[in-house]
Structure 1
Amino acid sequence: MAGWPRVSHEPDDITPRILDFLRRIGVRVSTADLPGKSFLPGIEIEAGGLRVDPSRLQHPGDLLHEAGHLAVLPPDQRCQQGAEVSNDPAQEMMAIAWSWAALTHLALSPEVVFHADGYKGDAQWLIDTYSAGTFIALPMLQWIGLSADPSHAEALGIAPYPHMIRWLREEEATHDAIEH
């Protein structure tokens, strides 16, 4: 994939950048020993925030995906989110799109988030699809007020997705600001 910066996949190189970004955008992050089993090694969602065990974290990009799940929830649901994230396909698609925007913002290689161990074998397909400019779930991110497609972005005088208007969903009806 020409044009994408190649970065180390070592947690010591990427994890601090990701954690700093998440904290700056308002995702609560804490470090802790997480000896138990979790859905993704070294990461737990607790009370709307992320708990991270850097010694067990296998893929730093998983932090962006899990944060994406939190980011697309309305604030009242986000603060109540526990370890089990929704298996709602729409929320999963929005978390993927949010993750792409975040890795683009951080100038990370897509493989940092979309690694071979995740996405039920579809990581390369997701990389190819997003790299080709087919932004699955962009209409949903636009609906909740996080980003805009090119025509809406032009009308608003902002950059289009993967640029984000905001990183965290606000109230339920934020789509009103980006209607036709």
Structure 2
Amino acid sequence: MSAGAAALTDAQATERILQFLRQIGLEVREELLPGDCFLPGIRIVQGGLVVDRLQLRWPGDLLHEAGHLAVVPAALRPRMDDALAQLPVIEHGGETEATAWAWAALTHLQLPSQVLFHEGGYRGHATGLRINFEMGIYLGASGLVHAGLAWLPGPDLAVGAPIYPRLRQWLRD
């Protein structure tokens, strides 16, 4: 974890994230995993997360992978395994929506942005993504609106309705 997040250890961030994911209804199991996982210490298996804390390198990766599970329709979730590319194309259920969902979860948990956008993530684009989200440029948020998970400001929005990065609900129906 970066110096900006020094007050929170990786173990503390991991525990907070895992508790949250279980509270919102995602299946999370902890077990030893082989060393060849796409992300160290994390697998998606039958619509749930399997986590190996000993191999987990970046706690924020849990949020992003959970985002992939959260933004797909509930009926498809059990079919999700590591090979996400084998799923059919799901409108408003892709990479940008998973990232926007992860940002919403991160802000809900009041974790530093570096937990999600760490130096080892997003194929070298973590810093740019972090800056965008910190500036309120929320890539993928409109997809969350279309998926029924969020609202954005607008003339038809009810007074007091939670607007992104607060979500209406955490899991897509």
TM-score (norm 2): 0.89
Hey, what's the Cα distance between the residues in 1 that align with 2:85 and 2:101? Answer: 16
Q: Which has the higher helix share?
A: 1
Q: Which residue of 2 aligns with 1:108?
A: 111
Provide closer, same or farther for how the CA distance between residues 138 and 49 of structure 1 changes in structure 2, counting only shifts above 3 A: same
1:143 and 2:135 equivalent? no
Q: Which residue of 2 aligns with 1:99?
A: 102
Query: What amino acid maps onto 2:124 in structure 1?
Result: G
Q: Which residue of 2 aligns with 1:159?
A: 162
**What's the % identity of the aligned pairs?**
43
Note if contact 1:153-1:159 (Cα within 8 Å) is conserved in structure 2. no
Q: Which residue of 2 aligns with 1:175?
A: none
What SS does structure 1 have at the residue aligned with 2:43? strand
Indicate the RMSD between aligned Cα atoms, in angstroms: 2.0
Q: Which residue of 2 aligns with 1:21?
A: 20
Note if contact 2:5-2:114 (Cα within 8 Å) is conserved in structure 1. no
Provide closer, same or farther for how the CA distance between residues 103 and 7 of structure 1 changes in structure 2, counting only shifts above 3 A: farther
1:134 and 2:137 equivalent? yes
1:30-71 deviations in Å (ceiling 9; x for gaps): 000002411000000000000000000000110000000000
1:49 and 2:53 equivalent? no
Note if contact 1:61-1:113 (Cα within 8 Å) is conserved in structure 2. yes
Hey, what's the Cα distance between the residues in 1 that align with 2:32 and 2:156? Answer: 43
What SS does structure 2 have at the residue aligned with 1:96? helix
How big is the shift at 1:12? Answer: 1.4
Hey, what's the Cα distance between the residues in 1 that align with 2:101 and 2:139? Answer: 10
Query: What amino acid maps onto 2:111 in structure 1?
Result: L
1:137-175 deviations in Å (ceiling 9; x for gaps): 1111000100010116833641210000000000xxxxx
Alignment size in residue pairs: 166
Query: What amino acid maps onto 2:115 in structure 1?
Result: V
What SS does structure 2 have at the residue aligned with 1:150? coil
What residue ranges of structure 2 are gaps of 5+ in the alignment? Answer: none
Query: What amino acid maps onto 1:53 in structure 2?
Result: D
What residue ranges of structure 1 are gaps of 5+ in the alignment? Answer: 171-180
How big is the shift at 1:84? Answer: 1.2
